[in-house]
Structure 1
C-alpha cells in the first residue's frame, strides 16, 4: 500500500525490478500450493450408528395427532419389534406389518426425534439403504425447531404412496419464499414458492427431485443413497446421491465432508428471499412413518395406488401385508459442524440437548406436538402420465 506523506501527498516507494528467475520460482510455489477454502472445513459433531443408534432419540408414544394418520406411534418400551438393529448392523425403523388390526383401531409405527438440536452451521447426512413406500405410506426424514413454526422446519426426505420422486420443503412463518429466478442454483423442480405455514394449506416451499431413484422401489433397488442437508447462515442446501454416486467425502468413515465439491444441490433456499437466521432456530432431527392422513390419504388414486372409492383406512391400513416395504434401513446418520457457517461466525456449532425424558407409557399426550400440523386443503397440480408423480404442487406436505 502507498504510504501517506506528511505533506498530505501519497509517497510512492521505488522498488528494484524482480528478477525473472524469482518470478518463476514464486509462480511455481503458488501452483504447488493448495489454496484454503474460504470457510473452515466441517468437523464431526454426532454420529448415530450401530448398536447405539437409538441412544439420544425420544419416541413419540402417542397416536398421530400431527398429520391425522391412522397410526399409533409406539413408545420406547414397546418399540423392540419396530425399532431395532438388524444383522447387518443397520437401524430398522418400520411400520407394523404382522399384526391384525381390527376396525376402528390404528396400526403401530414409529416416530423418533433427536434429543439434541443442531444450530445453523451444521450439516446432517442421512445414509439410507431402504426407505418406506407403499399405498397409504407416508414417511419422512426431516427437522424442526423446538418451537414450531417460529423456528422453522426442513424436509429432507418425504413422499407418499407409490410416488417415484422425493420432495424437499421448508415450512416457516410468513416472509420466507423461493422462486424460479433462483432455479439456476438447484437442479430440482420448484412446485410451490411460499414457505409460510399459513399459506397453501401449509404446503411449504417445495422442490421435486427429477430422479426416480430418489424415492420408493427404485431407491431400494439401487442400494439406496445419501441425503445431505447443509444448514448454513448463507442458505439451506440439500443434495441427494444414489449409492453408486456417493462422493468419497460422504462415506461413513469420512471426517471432513466438503459440499463445495458436490455440484449444485437438488434443492436450495435462502438469500434475500429467506434469511436463514431470521426464520430458523436449532433443529431436532425427526424420522417417522405414518399412514393415510392429511396427504397420503387424499391422493392414493393419483399416486400409483389402485383406484378405490373406499376410505384409505379401510382400503389399506387393515391389511398388514400392505406394509412389507414400509421401513427405513439406516447405516448411519451423521452430523457435522462448521463455525464459519454458523449464525454467529465466532461461535462453533454444538449440539444442544433439549429433551425431556423419552415417552414410556404412550397413555398421555406428548409434552409438545410441535411441527407437521397439517390441515386439509386443495390438492393442486397434475399427475405426469406414466410417472405417477404429482408435479404441479404437492399439497399437505
Structure 2
C-alpha cells in the first residue's frame, strides 16, 4: 500500500483547502451601481400603495443618486397622494412614488455581500426588502435577505418555492417561524414560505440605522442558503476575500429537505420599498402606528414627511462565485 505524505506547506494549507475559494464576480459600487439595474414600473406584485417610477423620473426627482462613495435610493416624501377611502388597499389610485431596482445580471448560487449604512425600515407603512428571485415565480425560488414592515425591530429572512422544499434551521441564531418553503404549504399563512426571525435588533430598522448599519452576507450553494449579519464594528477582516467557514454561526441557515439546485436558479437581485400591501397593510390594525390613521393607505397618503427617512444608503454590493 502506498502511503500519501504531505509537505509542511501542504499541511499549512489544509484549513484553506477545506472550503471552495470565492472569487469576485461583480462589484456594484457608486461608480457603476445604477447602470447595473433596470427600473421596474409595473403594478406591485404585493398589492402595495406604491407607484414604481422609471429611470428618468427616479433620477430627475433625486430618488436615486450617487452620494460620494455611496448610493442613495429613496422615495417621495413631499407629496400628499389622492386616494379613495373606500379602496382600503389604495391599489386603484396609484400610490406613493418609489423605486424598485432589478439587476440586469442573473445569478445561480454564489456569495452576495451587501454593505449598507441606512435602510428604509422604521417609518410606519413601509415595507422595504433586499432579495433575489427567479422568473416564473415561485418555480425558480425567492430568497429574502432583508425584510420587515412598520416599526419592526428585527429582520425577517425567508425562502419561497413550489412544493417539496422544507428546512430544519440547523446551527443558527434566528428563530424558525415556519419550516415549509412551499408558498401554498398547509398549516402556514399564504406565501409565508420557510421564514426565520432574527433574535437581535441590530439587523433591522431604527437600531440598525442608529449604529450606521453593517454588512449582510448570503451564501447560496447546492446544500444550503445561509445569511449572516455583521454590525458596523464587527465586520470580518476577510470580507473582501471571503471565507464564510470562518464567520461562525449564521443568523439564518436554510438547510434540510430541499433540492436547492432544482428549486433556485437564475435570480435577479432586487432592492425595493413598497407601502402597505399584503403584509404591511394586512397587519396595520395590530402594528404600533402613528397619527391615528384608520388604514395604512390613509397614513401613507397623508403624511409624506414621515418617509423622509425611508431610504437606502448603499456602500457596495459584491457577488462572489466559487472557483
Q: 1:335, 1:247 → 2: CA distance?
A: 16
The structure 2 residue matched to 1:239, chosen from 222, 228, 231, is: 228
Aligned residue in 2 for 1:206: 195
The structure 1 residue matched to 2:296, chosen from 312, 318, 336, is: 312
Map 1:146-157 onto structure 2 (within 5 A). 146-157=135-146
Q: 1:61, 1:30 → 2: CA distance?
A: 56
Map 1:139-178 onto structure 2 (within 5 A). 139-178=128-167
Matched, 1:94 2:59: no
Matched, 1:268 2:253: yes
Matched, 1:137 2:126: yes
Q: Report the TM-score, using the length of structure 2 for normalisation.
A: 0.89
What SS class does the counterpart of residue 238 from structure 2 fall into? helix
Per-residue Cα deviation, 1:312-355 (whole angstroms, up to 9, x for no partner)? 1112332111101111100111100004xxxxxxxxxxxxxxxx
Moved more, 310-319 or 200-209: 310-319
Matched, 1:83 2:64: yes
What SS class does the counterpart of residue 219 from structure 2 fall into? strand
Matched, 1:61 2:49: no
Q: 1:309, 1:323 → 2: CA distance?
A: 15
Q: 2:159, 2:209 → 1: CA distance?
A: 25
**Pairwise CA distance, 1:239:** 0.5
Q: Note if contact 2:291-2:299 (Cα within 8 Å) is conserved in structure 1.
A: no
Q: Report the TM-score, using the length of structure 1 for normalisation.
A: 0.73
What SS class does the counterpart of residue 65 from structure 2 fall into? strand
The gaps in structure 2 that reach 5 residues or longer are: 85-92
Specify whether residues 55 and 27 from structure 1 end up closer, same or farther in structure 2 by C-alpha distance, changes over 3 A only: closer
What SS class does the counterpart of residue 18 from structure 2 fall into? coil
Matched, 1:298 2:282: yes
Specify whether residues 307 and 189 from structure 1 end up closer, same or farther in structure 2 by C-alpha distance, changes over 3 A only: farther
Specify whether residues 278 and 101 from structure 1 end up closer, same or farther in structure 2 by C-alpha distance, changes over 3 A only: same
Q: 2:233, 2:219 → 1: CA distance?
A: 21
Matched, 1:74 2:53: yes
Map 1:1-397 onto structure 2 (within 5 A). 1=1, 29=8, 33-35=12-14, 36-64=16-44, 66-80=45-59, 81-86=62-67, 88-104=68-84, 105=93, 106-120=95-109, 122-133=110-121, 134-179=123-168, 182-183=169-170, 185-199=171-185, 200-250=189-239, 254=240, 256-271=241-256, 273-306=257-290, 308=292, 310-339=294-323
CA RMSD after TM alignment: 2.0
Q: Note if contact 2:113-2:217 (Cα within 8 Å) is conserved in structure 1.
A: yes
What SS class does the counterpart of residue 249 from structure 1 fall into? coil
The gaps in structure 1 that reach 5 residues or longer are: 3-14, 16-25, 340-397
**Number of equivalences:** 306
